Amino acid sequence: MSTKKDKFSSRDKLYMEIALKLAKARYGHTGSNPSVGCVIVKNDKIISIGQTSISGRPHAEFNAIKNSTESLNGSKMYVTLEPCSHHGVTPPCTDLIVKSKIAEVIYSVTDIDIRVRNKSFKIFKSKKIKIRKGLLREKIKSFYSTYFFNRKKKLPYVTGKIAISKNNLIYSKLDRKITNTKADKFTHSLRYKNDSLMISYKTLNSDNPKLNCRLNGLKNYSPKRIILDNKLNTNINSFIINTANKSNTIIFYNEASKSQILNFRKRGINLKFSKVDNQGRFDIKILLKKLYKLDCRNLLIEGGDELTNYLLRNKIFNRFYLYESNKKLSKKSEYLHFNSLNLLKQKYKKKIKLKLNLGNNKITLYKN
């Protein structure tokens, strides 16, 4: 069993670092389940690895055990999160670990799920399997901060972003490009790491965005598109509508004619009715609860000034990325200012300038 006197070797740390990298690689793509990494070692040699499957099942431990071509008798398992011990869609990982005759389990963080929390420890102890925990605890606990938030609040973890020009514009009809290609890649990495992406119909109609991940080989991991459109004013010929199906696009609406609703549904849109306030704005907290029930766990919001201002005032963002370019946009035609900069600084006290090689662009992370 584990004690406070447990000491971890440099090799232990190396194996857990590998497990963490495996977990990070699946972040945002494991549905309602946390992304877990697992490494199995025998005679100080890695004999198998596993990570949580896309959509969440099978779990990392199951995959690592099934991936092994050697006997696991007497081996050690390194896993980022406490193995599950409850019967759900699949049998508990603890059963498989016991049957495989693994001699020692080292996990970093205790699961927050009440169906699991500390139960695996008791099971392994009763089966004479050595247990140690806490390896790289702070680092891995930080990685699971979004998962812990999901479980505690029953809400998606919300990330916001917006890009502003040197003259504080977020839109110019004559000069639409704000950030450079290096900053754009960071945006696509955010899209890869979030299972859903929300915008308003105004942004959709103005920019006709694709909202996908365009990093090499990762297009299939693009987030689900969430559109806020009170009266179904979304451009029916936009890219989003033309590439929509019920699994990749949701539009929240409140007021629309039967013909409008039928037209959108014919195009494969998943329409969701939701209440609005007297100013025609959705109650974002109600929407977040609905999205959580639809397995949305990590939500990226790429809003304009109006939506961003509303979300800042209601303290919806868990973290916010502000992109700043040294480029000035044209004011000779239609343009929009970012009027919420001071509000952003007021709401989020912690400000971290990301150390990224972005040339003449920079990104600052705001969070509490």
What does the pLDDT read at residue 3? Answer: 47
18: tokens are 């590998």
- What's the pLDDT tens digit per position in 157-184? 999 999 999 999 999 988 889 999 999 9
The sheet with strand 157-164 has its strands ordered as 270-273, 249-253, 224-228, 196-200, 298-301, 157-164, 319-325, 361-367, 350-353
- What's the pLDDT tens digit per position in 120-135? 888 999 999 999 999 9
Higher pLDDT, 292 or 280: 292
Average pLDDT, the chain: 93
- What's the pLDDT tens digit per position in 88-118? 666 789 999 999 999 999 999 999 988 888 7
Torsion angle in degrees (nearest 10) through CA of 198, 203, 205, 209: -70
What does the pLDDT read at residue 1? Answer: 46
What band does 2 get if pLDDT is binned at 50, 70 and 90? Answer: very low
Contact 288, 294 (CB under 8 A): no
The position carrying tokens 């606990």 is 141
What band does 6 get if pLDDT is binned at 50, 70 and 90? Answer: low
82 labelled catalytic: no
177: which residues sit within 8 A by CB, 6+ positions away? 327
| Percent of residues, the chain, with pLDDT higher than 90 | 85
Bridge partners (DSSP) listed for residue 361:
325
What band does 87 get if pLDDT is binned at 50, 70 and 90? Answer: low
How confident is the model over 38-67, as a mean pLDDT? 95
**Options 17, 61, 302, 306, the catalytic residue:** 61
C-alpha triplet 19, 21, 22: angle, nearest 5°: 65
How buried is residue 102: exposed, middle or buried, by Cβ count under 10 Å (0-12/13-18/19+)?
Answer: buried
pLDDT at 248 over 70: yes
Least confident of 152-156, 276-280, 316-320: 276-280
pLDDT at 5 over 60: no
What band does 283 get if pLDDT is binned at 50, 70 and 90? Answer: very high
Higher pLDDT, 80 or 4: 80
Contact 131, 2 (CB under 8 A): yes
What does the pLDDT read at residue 115? Answer: 82
Q: Which of 180, 174, 209 is nearest to 300 (CA)?
A: 209
Contact 1, 131 (CB under 8 A): yes
Q: Which of 325, 332, 196, 316 is nearest to 251 (CA)?
A: 196
pLDDT at 360 over 90: yes
- What's the pLDDT tens digit per position in 310-350? 999 999 999 999 999 999 999 998 999 999 999 999 999 89
Write the single-letter amino acid at 38: C
The position carrying tokens 């209440």 is 275
